[in-house]
Structures are given as structure tokens and as C-alpha cells.
Amino acid sequence: MALEGIGYSGDSDTAPAHGRAALRVVSGFYEGLEWPLDRSSTVIGRGRNADFVLHEATISRAHALVSYKGDRLYVQDLGSTNGVLVNGVREDRVLLCAGDELRMGRLVVRLLMGTRESRGSGASGGSGASGGSAVTGGEHGV
């Protein structure tokens, strides 16, 4: 998928093998849906070219980019109409930590980080309400 023009630099960083991250929708129509962050980058939006497609009117076609830089995970607003709020603060680009909540339009997603076992090993992806916390991101900031 070509991402030129929406903030993707084409870096070859990949998801770290030692830890897994996922986004879980905690509020809105898609509540409970989890999306693994197992690629170097993931575009979230309602457009058909997004990786994580959410058919929600308050989400832009290409709303946000979640990407790895080394073993750190960042979110970047892609010029969306409603912005990206991380823990209630509107951000253009910010380092993410386990448990962070991202609001995009009416939807709220939580970042789950850690190994699969730390979140629970059920067949459908675990049942822990807050997820694991094997944090690799450190403090917020860029």
C-alpha cells in the first residue's frame, strides 16, 4: 500500500518480535474489536485504503498512523478533521505507552502491549479488561 503524502516515511522498522501490541476498541460501535499492531505501520481510517477500517462518520478516510520506530510505538494524526486525542490531549504525533486511550471521533481505543500470555491466552485473544503491561515505550513524548 502506498502511503506517500500522508506522513509515512517508508522506514523499514518492524514490530518488535519480543512484544506484541494491539488496539482494542473500548467505546463506540466496534466495542471489543481488537486489531494487532504486527506491521511496521498501520493506517486507521474509514477509507478503503486504510489498514484498520472503521466505518464511522466521525473518522476521516486516513485518520491516524500507528507506527514503530525501533521498539517504540507512535501515533500520528494524518490531518484528520476531528484529530487524535491521547489520554484526553489532542496530539499531532506522540509516543504511546501501554494502556493509553486514543479518541478518534466517537471511537475510543486502548493500546494493549505485552506478550500474548500477559493478556490472557484464551482462544479469542484473552479476556483481561485492561490488558498486559510489558511496556516498551517509556514516557510520553517525541
Residue 17: per-residue pLDDT: 53
State pLDDT tens for residues 84-116: 999 999 999 999 999 999 999 999 999 999 744
pTM above 0.85, yes or no: no
Would you list the DSSP string of 99-135?
T-EEEETTEEEEEEEE-HHHH---TTS---SS--B--
Mean pLDDT for the chain overall: 77
Look at residue 135 and tell me whether its pLDDT is greater than 90. no
Reported as a single tens digit per residue, the pLDDT across 31-90 is: 999 999 999 999 999 999 999 999 999 999 999 999 999 989 999 999 999 999 999 999
